[in-house]
Each structure stands twice: as structure tokens, then as C-alpha cells.
Structure 1
Amino acid sequence: MAFYSIERDGYDFLFLDLTPRDVLRQAPRDKDLEFDDVMKFSQSSRPMKDWWPELETTLRANEDIDSPRMPDISAWAPGALVLYPRGYRLLGEWLSQYGELLPVTVMNNPETHWIFNCRAKKDVDPDRSSMDCGEDLPVINFVEGVDDPEIFKTDFDNCSFLYCGEKFKELVEEYELRGITFTSLQRLV
């Protein structure tokens, strides 16, 4: 089975002007949240839906881009994606089986945007994987199973990246969703 890392596509797309630190500032004080519950949410894989604050933000472009493009989906903080309205309509329900969808209001936009907090994880074969590959991409070989998630993260890299199988990649390509790219993972035999 082929696996891919999911990355933000290009410099010229708009992006959600929101960071985990912004979420921390708005988080309710009565939920006994620790700093790491928000700042390292990807590593903990804890649910956030029960305390998620009402967030309002904007979309931004990189300063030197005159005509930024609107994405349908983009990478956000480690282990998360942003689903813009079209991406949410096409993938929201399907993605919800692998994590949770957290609403975000974008100023001057009547439609809700959604952060997908991936909670699915997959194990790596440590004998056939290496994070120390010099200037090359890491070599990651996942342990394959019958009930593998189609989008996931791994403790091997401290849940710093999102990965997927063929099905998720095919859905993004079939729906012609813009904003992310896929890099095939190197494999050690």
C-alpha cells in the first residue's frame, strides 16, 4: 500500500490567520486545560470539541502575493487541516470518522470554516524507518493492518505531520480540491 505525507500546496494560497496560541487565549478557563492540551494537541490526541471556543479570525495571504488563491483544504498546525466551505461540503462527513471537526468563523464570510483535528494514529515499523536521512525526506514504513485509517498521524515523528493512504488522495484529486499536495514516502526495503 502506498502512503503519502500531506503538505500545504504553494505559497500563493490564502490561509487561516489562526494559531494554536490563539486557541489557547480563547479557551475556557473552567475546563482545567493545561498549556500542552492546546499547544501540543496533536501529540495528545485528546478531543477538543467539548471545550472548543467560538473563534473568529480572518484569511491572510503572504505579503508579496498580489492575487492570492482560495484553497478548499489546507494544512494547519501539526496533525490538523482546515476545511474551507467547499472542502467541508465534500469531505467533512468522511473525515469525521478519523477525528473531529471544530468550527471557526471567518470575518466577512457567512460560511463556517472547519479545523479537522485528526485523532487517528498508525504505527511505524522502526526497523524500516528513519527520521535521520540527511537532506532527504524521512523514510517511513507504516505497519499495515486490516482496519487502517485513511488519514492519520504517528508517534514516530511526535505527531508532527499528517499522512494518508490512497483513498484520501484519490478523493482530493477526484473532487479537484486545491490547497494541499501529497508526497510519496520513501521506502526502505
Structure 2
Amino acid sequence: MPAIYAIRDDGFRFKNLDLSILDIARHAPDDSDPDSILDFSLHNTAMAAWWPPMGAHFLSNEGFEGSPIPDISSGLGATLVLSPKAKRYLGDLLESYGELLPVEAEGEVYYLFNCRTFGQEDLEVSQHEYLGDTPISLKALAFTDDAEKLATFKSKFENCATVFCNEQFKRAVEKFELTGISFDENLVEQFG
């Protein structure tokens, strides 16, 4: 099995970027297909060509007022939010796998990393749970050895809700002591 991780937020102790899909859709070109914007991760929509200077701010989770802004956090769909420090250390590595879209927040320029690379799922292991003929949840997820070569990627089988990474990306985050995310070997997010 390749060394693959799901990138997760490191608990609730960090602030989150308050940027919604409607904030993005408001700036999309008039001739855009609404589905390609509202579900941009699944449609693998490129946005850099029309991305405007966008402003946002960070919010604390309830009960964690005054919490710090992370270096990296999960964003909408298969995106990551990078601080200026994280962009400086990881930008060159990430730009081959997606787009770095600037967002002004807290007086600095942060970046929304729009992952545009798909990993190849191992379909002998990956499974959905079904209700009749309709898939209702992800039961198991695994990737082929080829995915281990990708620093970051997303999964169609998982509806592009998570950014996954390899050992190289994990080591870079740890080397530069970037805060805000954890690396989960369980690729299916557990709730409850």
C-alpha cells in the first residue's frame, strides 16, 4: 500500500477562512456553467484566469475565541488555505498540482490552493455503502501505487471533498513546522 494521507484540520483550535462558494460564484464569468463553479472541485474547474482580488477574514470556532490563524487549513472542496509562510515554503511544490489563488485577509495575502490533480483509486479496495442502487457513503478508499508519486491530489470516488497527499508533502510540512493540519492514514473521514 502506498503511503498516502488525508489532509485534515488539526482540531478546532485554529481559525478558519470565512470564504463561501457563493463568494466565489459571485465573481465567476457570466457565461460560466453554474455547476462548474458551485461544484468546482468535482468538475476540476480552473479559476485562475478570472479570479479577482478577493477579500475574506478568519473566524474562530465557537469556544476557541482568540485562537491563532493556521499556516495551512482545509478549504472548500479539495482546497487548502495557505498562509504567506506556507505559500513561500510549499508554493513551488504545489503549483504543479493545481492553482494558487490569492485571498486578502487580516492585512496579508493568503492563498487558496485549488487542487486540480486526480489520484487513481484502487477499485478492488475502494467501496461505497449503498441504499438500494444509490451510493450513500464512502466505506473504504485506497489508491494505486501511482498516487504515491503525487504530492497532492483529490479523488473522484470520494467526490473531491478532501485533499490527499504523499509522504513528500507530509515531510515538507513537518520540516517547515507549518501548523493547522494533520495527516490521517484513515482515508475515509469518520464522524461522531
Q: Same fold (TM over 0.5)?
A: yes
What corresponds to 2:69 in structure 1?
70
Shift of 1:22: 1.1
CA distance in 2, matches of 1:69, 1:163: 24
Give the number of aligned pairs.
181
Which structure dedicates a bigger proportion of its chain to strand? 2
Shift of 1:53: 2.0
What corresponds to 1:92 in structure 2?
91
What corresponds to 2:8 in structure 1?
7
Distance verdict in 2 for CA 1:142–1:48, change over 3 Å: same
CA distance in 2, matches of 1:4, 1:146: 11
What corresponds to 2:144 in structure 1?
143
CA contact (8 A) 1:71 1:179 kept: yes
Give the counterpart of 1:130 among 127, 131, 153.
127
Distance verdict in 2 for CA 1:97–1:9, change over 3 Å: same
CA contact (8 A) 2:121 2:143 kept: yes
Q: 2:59 aligned with 1:60, yes or no? A: yes
Question: How is 1:25-174 mapped onto 2 (pairs within 5 angstroms)?
Answer: 25-29=26-30, 32-106=31-105, 108-109=106-107, 111-132=108-129, 138-145=139-146, 148-174=149-175
Poorly superposed stretches of 4+, deviation over 4 Å: none
SS in structure 1 at match of 2:179: coil
CA contact (8 A) 2:58 2:69 kept: no
CA contact (8 A) 2:119 2:155 kept: yes
Question: How is 1:168-183 mapped onto 2 (pairs within 5 angstroms)?
Answer: 168-183=169-184
Shift of 1:117: 0.4
CA distance in 1, matches of 2:56, 2:163: 24
CA distance in 2, matches of 1:48, 1:122: 20
What corresponds to 2:135 in structure 1?
none
Shift of 1:146: 8.3
Which structure dedicates a bigger proportion of its chain to helix? 1
CA distance in 2, matches of 1:150, 1:184: 15
Structure 1: 5+ residue runs without aligned partners?
none
Shift of 1:56: 0.8
CA contact (8 A) 2:93 2:151 kept: no
